[in-house]
Structure formats: C-alpha cells, structure tokens
Amino acid sequence: MGKKEREEREQERESFYEKRQKQQFKYKAIGIGVLAGVVAVLAISSYNFYVLSSQVVPQGVPPGAGPLGNVNIQAGILTMIYGQQFDYSSTAYQVKNAYIDFEKENGETIHMHAANVTLGFLYNSLNIGLTDNCFTFPDKRAFCTDDKYSLKFFVNHHQVQDISNYVIKQNDRILISYGNENSTQIDAQLAKLDSFTLVP
C-alpha cells in the first residue's frame, strides 16, 4: 500500500470521525433542548398549581371560628335577583375557602367546615358585597334597596334584617331576594328553596 493511499484512508477516517462527532453533538443539543423544555413546562405547571391552590384558602382565619374540620354543616340557599336565580355552581364561586363554601358543582348547598363561620365571611371569599341593603357582584353591579326595589332576607321562612353575621345551622333554608315581589311571589321563592335537596 502506497503512502498516498494511506494518507487518503487516514483522511477518510478523520472525516468520518468528525462527522460522527458533529452528529453526536447535534443529538446532545436536541436532547438538552427537549429536557430544558420539559423542565420549563414542569416549573410553570408547579407555579400555576401553587397560585391556584393558594387562592382556595383566604388569608387568615374567620374571626371566632372553631378548628377547621370540626363540623360538617349544610344549609340550602336561594338568591333571586329580579326573579332570576343567581348561580353559585359556576367555577367562579366553587370552593373559594376551606371554612365555608359551595362545592361539588352545586350552587344550592352551603358547606360549613368550622364552627362559628358567618355568611359574611363566605360572601367576602366570593368577592360579593353583602350588607343589609346591598348585594354587589364582583363586577361592581350593585342591587340596593331604594324606592322601587328592596333587598330581603329570610331564614327558615322568617324575614330578618341582615344575614352577614348569621352562622348557618344544619338544614337551614336561606333566601336572598331582590326586587319588588309581593308576598305570593316570595312564598313561591320560599317553596322553591324548600324543594332543594342538600348535597352532603
């Protein structure tokens, strides 16, 4: 074998080795890129999970509340605005705090998981304003008592002035009604409330 042929073969070997090294580098770069993408997706998912889960429990403990989990009380609720039922079953109002909430995609049953938690705390956690004369949606639309319409509260068929400081009892029925309904129409709303099957 001549010197020229040996040199050519060495050049071919070197060329093959260089190509192989470039291919390996390319595959490693792709692998690192994919791995970095997976790590980024996991990091974003973990952050989103943390943010969402931290929104479930509001800061602080309700004033005067008992230990979390020491009770499991359900009450029925119906909110009527101009004769239309307000829907608490949408995700915007489900499980917004651990002490008292709407859950299981149901908007007719309040669940209280600690003693002495008020309805005012529930509505604060939903970003809904509730006073003795105004019901205010998160988008700031307010339904307040005036010359034409009134905000009324009923607990177990008894009209009360305010429910912000009310603590539910097992099987309570609570009606919030805004409009100019007469007594017959209010009775129909109470009958609808009584027909609710509470979700345990």
What value does the mean pLDDT of the chain take?
84
Distance CA 151, CA 105 (A): 26
Closest Cα partner for 172 from 109, 116, 130?
109
Token couple for 172: 């309570």
Closest Cα partner for 176 from 89, 52, 85?
85
DSSP state, 102? B
Distance CA 84, CA 186 (A): 13
| Neighbour-count burial of 108, counting CB atoms closer than 10 A to its CB (0-12 exposed, 13-18 middle, 19+ buried) | buried
Topology of domain 73-194, CATH: Ferric Hydroxamate Uptake Protein; Chain A, domain 1 (2.170.130)
Span 69-75, average pLDDT:
96
Q: What is the pTM of this model?
A: 0.70
Quick one: how far is CA 77 from the chain centroid?
Answer: 18
pLDDT in tens, 136-193: 999 999 999 999 999 999 999 999 999 999 999 999 999 999 999 999 999 999 999 9
The answer to which of 39-43, 50-54, 140-144, 170-174 has the lowest mean pLDDT is 50-54
The answer to which of 16-30, 64-78, 161-175 has the lowest mean pLDDT is 16-30
In percent, the amount of the chain with pLDDT more than 90 equals 69
Q: Which residues contact 88 (CB under 8 A, 6 or more apart)?
A: 77, 79, 94, 102, 107, 108, 126
pLDDT band at 59 (very low <50, low <70, confident <90, very high): low
Quick one: how far is CA 34 from the chain centroid?
Answer: 33
Residue whose token pair is 């979390």? 68
pLDDT for residue 86 = 95
What's the sign of the alpha-carbon dihedral 68, 70, 74, 79?
negative
